[in-house]
Amino acid sequence: MNVEIAPSILAADFSVLGAAVRAAQDAGADAIHVDVMDGRFVPEITFGRRMVEALARHTSLPMDVHLMVADPQRHVAPFAQSGAGAITVHVEAFTGTVPARAALDAIRAAGANPGIALKPTTPPEALEDLWGAFDRILVMTVEPGASGQPFMAQMLPKIEKLAAESGRRHEAHEAGVPAVQIAVDGGIDERTAPLCVRAGATYLVAGSSVFSARRSVADGMAALRAAVTAPDPSSG
């Protein structure tokens, strides 16, 4: 199973984000994860769509925008126009299934891949009526809002459950869509990444394990990649 790694620039030095994005691409990143926070859905304020536009000029990788904002439907079109390849909204930011589905449909109509994120306390059942509208589920393995928090191992059964559900629906060819990708975000490092992959995640968002003062971006990416790449049984 191919596992993708998306470094989160939330953990990078904000004064040199262009260089951070270039370093991530050079180190083999599959996407750049951009955490958008509005000071309402989460306490912090981070980036707007102009940042996505600016960073897209430094990389050919898809920009994976994680909207931690209230009223996410207002922001879908602007971020899509700014070149986001994927836009993920939080299910908790909507008042019900109808507006959530409308926002996911708007993301797809704008040409980006729709994703849906779940806070740690939100159960998988919150997605029940939304399957088919999203390409990726972002399972938060920390409380959204900051980099550098410890991984919540109690999220592993949720990852397993959603991965199993994705597999079941894919086999049944429900809505004719490809398998929904299970992504994890928060506290992902070389120790926790294999646990998530074993549980069924195939997309890893990693902030402080890639962008840290203690090692280079290349070393951080290499450590993560090695941790989730099964050793070749013919070697050794």
Active-site residue, 185 included:
yes
* Footprint on this chain of ligand DX5 (rule: CB under 6 A): 8, 10-11, 33, 35, 66, 142, 144-149, 185-188, 205-209
Q: State the catalytic residue, choosing from 35, 38, 135, 189.
A: 35
Give the residue with the Cβ less far from ligand DX5, 166 or 192: 192
Q: Is 35 in the site for Zn ion (CB under 5 A)?
A: yes
Instruction: Calculate the alpha carbon distances from 166 to 26, 128, 172 in Å.
Output: 32, 12, 10
Residue from 7, 185, 193, 209 in contact with Zn ion (CB under 5 A):
185
Residue from 9, 46, 66, 101 in contact with Zn ion (CB under 5 A):
66
Give the residue with the Cβ less far from Zn ion, 35 or 165: 35
Q: What is the nearest approach in angstroms of ligand DX5 to the Cβ of residue 89?
A: 13
Structure tokens given for 71: 């009223």
State which residue has the least CB distance to ligand DX5: 207
Active-site residue, 129 included:
no
Which residues, 152 to 181, sit near Zn ion by CB under 5 A? none
Q: What is the nearest approach in angstroms of ligand DX5 to the Cβ of residue 92?
A: 13
Q: State the catalytic residue, choosing from 38, 135, 185, 189.
A: 185
Q: What is the nearest approach in angstroms of Zn ion to the Cβ of residue 6?
A: 9
**CA neighbours within 13 Å on the CB side: how many for 94?**
24
Q: What is the nearest approach in angstroms of ligand DX5 to the Cβ of residue 8?
A: 4
Point out which residues bind Zn ion (CB under 5 A).
Answer: 35, 66, 185
The residues annotated as belonging to the active site are 35, 185
